[in-house]
Chain A
């Protein structure tokens, strides 16, 4: 059994176990156990990966396994990881683990909830381990679809509308993506008889430039929809606002990363020429995302909306950095994905916990909560500080890397746009502090909130796991950065070899 497939097998086994259970109280224990195991596995994988690299294994992908799946189209189930995917897997298992604890008190259809949640996680894990485009797409869809149920059934507010909107927009993105992937597939071999979906093999051929010009935008936008690329981001506020806590966590924390990761691993890696040629368009769009998302967040009243817009801004930064196409910026993009994943999951977990206590998400209806629920309050402040890029927490590492990297771009235009994007850090500070001030500080405004209970043990597990990771990355970024950096080398080398710009 190869270790990577275990990442798909364990969730599937967990789901099976849940389905066999009669007592719904055990469901969450089993889920926590399964996802805890997954977290351990992720730890093991990081360890194995680093030791393999340390031992001098310089393959582009490690632990590669390949099974022929569908012969006539040459579709394989092939898996493999490099430092980037390992990091993403670690992120995913952390967020899922925290998510399980954050949804500890789901009462309604508990079994089905956990099944859908873990199914979603399965899709995400599968996506990150796949190196076959088709399998990757398959897992991608697997991750997107349970979202509809999770929001539509367990959501709040206009949940059907939001679920429908989110699913339709993501499916629209998938449609573009599928066309893009097929386009890559049919150009994956110069003599058209050895077509392949395997990323590593495709990366060895040069897809003809006219084809790239068509399929790069399709693929990029396809993934970009999931990565909240302006103007395809509007599913995000509604979707997040309606989704239950754990789903928001997983969605913003992990699922949106699928977009960034895919844009990087498929769109840019396989079609660097078109990426270079067309990057200015998308650079403009993404920098709009960055600034616009931040401004959008200032004026919101609903906590989840604020966070959703901030996600738009932060995820925009991921795509922005990826498009800069140099080592440092891309490194920053990956760190930003991880960092944003953790801290936005943290945010949504905390928002969920606040909502569970106060039954409102409108910031003006709350106030002075710090005194009443200090643990959650402090955690919220930490999350906020991470979000505005305080050194010592992960957000800073990511943003610094992105900005320094982006500013090394040789063309003046890109550097000016970078300065625009940099200005988002102030706007971020504004909305983060605004929320903290209104929500937590000041006198208590509502006497009904005087006796709210502080965090319970499972909430603490969830939150502490995430804060610990955020702080760990923020305090000691070098190992993560170098792990990603070494994996980026072959990719950057390819880009540079193809584009002597």
Chain B
């Protein structure tokens, strides 16, 4: 058994860094705190790679399957004998893989931010929040039990809140951060309820015993029914709600585009590569339960994923803010991953989707982080988010241009870049189990290529915009991460995921299925071709098209009015028709009742005080009359 106990430092270091930068950051020089944060994360990255190496290549396998290793665990909060929240580190293929993803992207973002955020007010605050985020995300990834995951889940949410609202004086950023937090919080409510149901039926939080495919936990819950579905299904649906919230699945997706108000490195780290895939990770983590005892819930996952990927891709075609386009593209890609999980089964060949999903998660993290960081470099030099303000930038930003192009080719699924491989696996998995979903995803692949190259051409080619300040290439701190990530995006497709990350830990034999691969490449090329025609040079085709499909364009441009619907529900229904009436009710009914009791008492006492007239003779009269009456009573009537 390999000793993994050092992995505690993967959690502790960022936390300590957060405390250090958060409490003492304002006393340090801004640059120093940035370097400190980056250095800390460097160590963590190193540790993660070390762990990955040790886990994948030196740890023992049993039956050819990777084992789940609890590196360390201690009871944090005891509820009952069986139910307790532990804090610990669980190593298994997906957590180790996520470790790599999170630390790599985070490290890149740390370096990138040294350049991007230079001179910003609150530089050290930014780094302390980044450390907090890294801590929470790593804790989430390494959680040994579902409640630990929930804890870090919430912490991730709050770091996201803090980072989106980093420019706290900008009202739109404040609104966006609030929205992100509340929407995900609402979804987390589902997660929590799911955990409660799960824990009530299985009496455990622990992942290892929960997800043991032949364990008691899985068989226990599935036998009890409630409202037509098994309790396990209910709890898994609720848990998925949480995942859907974090991963911006429809209908909880509305926070993600707005979250782009945060600094771009944050968007790259949290809202593209790591946090938003937490939902996928959650489903993957609970996958045996989904697959074995809650297949209905898994179908929900698949359909929600498929719908979101299509829905987001359509919206992405119409947006002009490049970060928003990327955000919708993220949603769409996560939809892919969800779908892949949803169509998978536990173990063996049928578990292809699981592996594909994880594979895509990995490659997506690389290329989407790259896209965002590239977008950041562009915004940094142009000072605008809108692609209408851009054009012909390839001359000014050569490195950014090349890396961005690589990323676009990757996401469009053009071989030999990594996106091709992972997307191909997903399509294959969908094709295996559900032709309808396959068709949807196939279409989405084309749309993806189209909208990615739409922004690519608009930014780097297109019209030659006159800039007030000549755009210049970003500093080395920003371009180096771009290059590294570009290499990652280009080559990570060759990582043998089928040998490393599979649903049951065993090796899965896969190959490129040409029947699927060739059409998917073709539709990608088609998308690129259309984009080339429409956006390579300044042309009127897009406007004409938009005019032709006026209404559908308008709907898509306005994100199908989902935001307005939410606003209606929250502002109108909840605030105006629940909260305000409750407040009114409290003041004017409950409190008024109490006040009425008081004022009735007071009124009665005002009446009674008339007896206390100060007229001596009245008192005497009453007294005597009373005395006489009492005498009569006692002498004659009492008897």
Direct contact of A and B (CB under 8 A): yes
Which residues on B sit within 8 Å (CB–CB) of A298?
574-575, 579, 582-583
The docked-state distance in angstroms from the alpha carbon of A296 to that of B585 is: 9
Within 8 A of B (CB), among A3-45: none
The docked-state distance in angstroms from the alpha carbon of A433 to that of B182 is: 8
Known: A298-B575, A426-B189. A482 touches B586 (CB 8 A): no
Known: A390-B154, A390-B155. A327 touches B80 (CB 8 A): yes
Interface residues on A, range: 35 or more
The docked-state distance in angstroms from the alpha carbon of A389 to that of B151 is: 10
Stretch touching chain A among B193-201, B257-265, B425-433, B434-442: B193-201
Which residues on B sit within 8 Å (CB–CB) of A74?
none
The docked-state distance in angstroms from the alpha carbon of A481 to that of B147 is: 17
- A89 on the interface (CB 8 Å rule)? no
Inter-chain contact B181/A433, CB cutoff 8 Å: yes
Inter-chain contact A478/B186, CB cutoff 8 Å: no
- B83 on the interface (CB 8 Å rule)? yes
Inter-chain contact A443/B171, CB cutoff 8 Å: yes
Q: What 0/1 readout, one digit per residue, does chain B (609-621) give for beta carbons within 8 Å of chain A?
A: 0000000000000
Stretch touching chain A among B71-79, B468-476, B500-508, B535-543: B71-79
Inter-chain contact A426/B186, CB cutoff 8 Å: yes
Dominant SS among interface residues on chain B: helix
The docked-state distance in angstroms from the alpha carbon of A486 to that of B11 is: 31
Report which of B76, B80, B200, B575 forms a contact with A477, defined as CB distance below 8 A: B76
Known: A165-B598, A296-B579, A328-B83. A407 touches B154 (CB 8 A): no
Which residues on B sit within 8 Å (CB–CB) of A422?
189, 192-193, 196
Which residues on B sit within 8 Å (CB–CB) of A368?
169
- B580 on the interface (CB 8 Å rule)? yes
The docked-state distance in angstroms from the alpha carbon of A478 to that of B84 is: 10
Inter-chain contact B199/A426, CB cutoff 8 Å: no
Q: What is the CB-to-nearest-CB distance from A416 to chain B, in angstroms, rounded to a whole number?
A: 11
Inter-chain contact B196/A299, CB cutoff 8 Å: no
The docked-state distance in angstroms from the alpha carbon of A495 to that of B562 is: 51
The docked-state distance in angstroms from the alpha carbon of A386 to that of B612 is: 56
Report which of B80, B165, B579 forms a contact with A299, defined as CB distance below 8 A: B579
- A363 on the interface (CB 8 Å rule)? no
Inter-chain contact B80/A408, CB cutoff 8 Å: yes
Inter-chain contact B579/A385, CB cutoff 8 Å: no
The docked-state distance in angstroms from the alpha carbon of A298 to that of B578 is: 9
Residue of B nearest to A392 (CB): B155
Q: What is the CB-to-nearest-CB distance from B511 to chain A, in angstroms, rounded to a whole number?
A: 44
Q: What is the CB-to-nearest-CB distance from A70 to chain B, in angstroms, rounded to a whole number?
A: 32
The docked-state distance in angstroms from the alpha carbon of A108 to that of B620 is: 47
Interface residues on B, range: 35 or more
Which residues on B sit within 8 Å (CB–CB) of A433?
161, 178, 181-182
Stretch touching chain A among B207-215, B280-288, B455-463, B589-597: B589-597
The docked-state distance in angstroms from the alpha carbon of A423 to that of B186 is: 8
Inter-chain contact A478/B78, CB cutoff 8 Å: yes
Inter-chain contact A437/B174, CB cutoff 8 Å: yes
The docked-state distance in angstroms from the alpha carbon of A425 to that of B165 is: 21
Q: What 0/1 readout, one digit per residue, does chain A (370-388) give for beta carbons within 8 Å of chain B?
A: 1100000000000001001
Report which of A292, A385, A403, A430 forms a contact with B586, defined as CB distance below 8 A: A292
Inter-chain contact A442/B171, CB cutoff 8 Å: yes
The docked-state distance in angstroms from the alpha carbon of A485 to that of B139 is: 27
Which residues on A sit within 8 Å (CB–CB) of B152?
391
Inter-chain contact B583/A401, CB cutoff 8 Å: no
Known: A299-B582, A397-B77, A481-B78. A391 touches B151 (CB 8 A): yes
- B371 on the interface (CB 8 Å rule)? no
Q: What 0/1 readout, one digit per residue, does chain A (157-168) give for beta carbons within 8 Å of chain B?
A: 000000001001
Within 8 A of B (CB), among A211-252: 230-235, 237-238
Report which of B150, B165, B169 forms a contact with A443, defined as CB distance below 8 A: B169
Inter-chain contact B193/A328, CB cutoff 8 Å: no
Q: What is the CB-to-nearest-CB distance from A232 to chain B, in angstroms, rounded to a whole number?
A: 8
Inter-chain contact B582/A292, CB cutoff 8 Å: yes
- B158 on the interface (CB 8 Å rule)? yes
Inter-chain contact B83/A442, CB cutoff 8 Å: no
- A419 on the interface (CB 8 Å rule)? yes
- B387 on the interface (CB 8 Å rule)? no
Residue of A nearest to B199 (CB): A404
Which residues on B sit within 8 Å (CB–CB) of A426?
182, 185-186, 189
The docked-state distance in angstroms from the alpha carbon of A437 to that of B188 is: 21
Which residues on B sit within 8 Å (CB–CB) of A397?
77
Known: A368-B169, A429-B185, A442-B168. A328 touches B155 (CB 8 A): no
Which residues on A sit within 8 Å (CB–CB) of B394?
none
Report which of A169, A296, A390, A477 forms a contact with B158, defined as CB distance below 8 A: A390
The docked-state distance in angstroms from the alpha carbon of A433 to that of B200 is: 31
- A77 on the interface (CB 8 Å rule)? no
Inter-chain contact A295/B578, CB cutoff 8 Å: yes
Which residues on B sit within 8 Å (CB–CB) of A390?
154-155, 158
Report which of B77, B83, B178, B189 forms a contact with A481, defined as CB distance below 8 A: B77
Which residues on B sit within 8 Å (CB–CB) of A232?
594
Which residues on B sit within 8 Å (CB–CB) of A146?
none
The docked-state distance in angstroms from the alpha carbon of A392 to that of B155 is: 8
- B317 on the interface (CB 8 Å rule)? no
Q: What is the CB-to-nearest-CB distance from A467 to chain B, in angstroms, rounded to a whole number?
A: 11
Inter-chain contact B199/A429, CB cutoff 8 Å: no
- B175 on the interface (CB 8 Å rule)? yes
Inter-chain contact A482/B78, CB cutoff 8 Å: yes
- A101 on the interface (CB 8 Å rule)? no
Which residues on B sit within 8 Å (CB–CB) of A237?
586
Q: What is the CB-to-nearest-CB distance from B34 to chain A, in angstroms, rounded to a whole number?
A: 19
Known: A234-B590, A429-B181, A429-B182. A296 touches B582 (CB 8 A): yes
Inter-chain contact B200/A391, CB cutoff 8 Å: no
The docked-state distance in angstroms from the alpha carbon of A422 to that of B188 is: 11
- B85 on the interface (CB 8 Å rule)? yes
- A206 on the interface (CB 8 Å rule)? no
Known: A426-B182, A441-B174, A482-B78. A415 touches B586 (CB 8 A): no
Inter-chain contact A407/B196, CB cutoff 8 Å: yes
Inter-chain contact B189/A478, CB cutoff 8 Å: no
Report which of A295, A370, A403, A440 forms a contact with B196, defined as CB distance below 8 A: A403
Which residues on B sit within 8 Å (CB–CB) of A295?
578-579, 582-583
Q: What is the CB-to-nearest-CB distance from B420 to chain A, in angstroms, rounded to a whole number?
A: 40
Inter-chain contact A391/B79, CB cutoff 8 Å: no
Inter-chain contact B151/A299, CB cutoff 8 Å: no
- A300 on the interface (CB 8 Å rule)? yes
Inter-chain contact A408/B168, CB cutoff 8 Å: no
The docked-state distance in angstroms from the alpha carbon of A430 to that of B185 is: 9
Which residues on B sit within 8 Å (CB–CB) of A440?
168
- A357 on the interface (CB 8 Å rule)? no
Q: What is the CB-to-nearest-CB distance from B621 to chain A, in angstroms, rounded to a whole number?
A: 35
Residue of B nearest to A438 (CB): B174
Which residues on A sit within 8 Å (CB–CB) of B169?
368, 370-371, 441-444
Which residues on B sit within 8 Å (CB–CB) of A482?
78
Inter-chain contact A300/B590, CB cutoff 8 Å: no
The docked-state distance in angstroms from the alpha carbon of A440 to that of B151 is: 26
Which residues on B sit within 8 Å (CB–CB) of A415?
196, 200
Q: What is the CB-to-nearest-CB distance from B602 to chain A, in angstroms, rounded to a whole number?
A: 11
Known: A391-B155, A422-B193. A400 touches B186 (CB 8 A): no
Which residues on B sit within 8 Å (CB–CB) of A327?
80
Which residues on A sit within 8 Å (CB–CB) of B199?
404, 407
Q: What is the CB-to-nearest-CB distance from A447 to chain B, in angstroms, rounded to a whole number?
A: 15
Which residues on B sit within 8 Å (CB–CB) of A238?
591
| 21 A-B pairs in the complex with CB atoms less than 8 angstroms apart | A165-B598, A231-B593, A296-B582, A298-B575, A298-B582, A299-B582, A299-B584, A331-B79, A388-B185, A390-B155, A391-B151, A404-B83, A408-B80, A419-B193, A422-B193, A425-B189, A429-B185, A430-B574, A433-B178, A441-B169, A481-B77
- 7 nearest CB pairs, A to B: A298-B579, A299-B583, A391-B151, A234-B591, A299-B579, A295-B582, A407-B196
- List 16 other contacts, CB 8 Å, given A422-B189, A422-B192, A441-B168: A233-B590, A235-B594, A370-B169, A385-B158, A391-B151, A400-B147, A404-B79, A407-B200, A408-B80, A419-B196, A425-B192, A426-B189, A433-B182, A441-B165, A442-B168, A478-B78
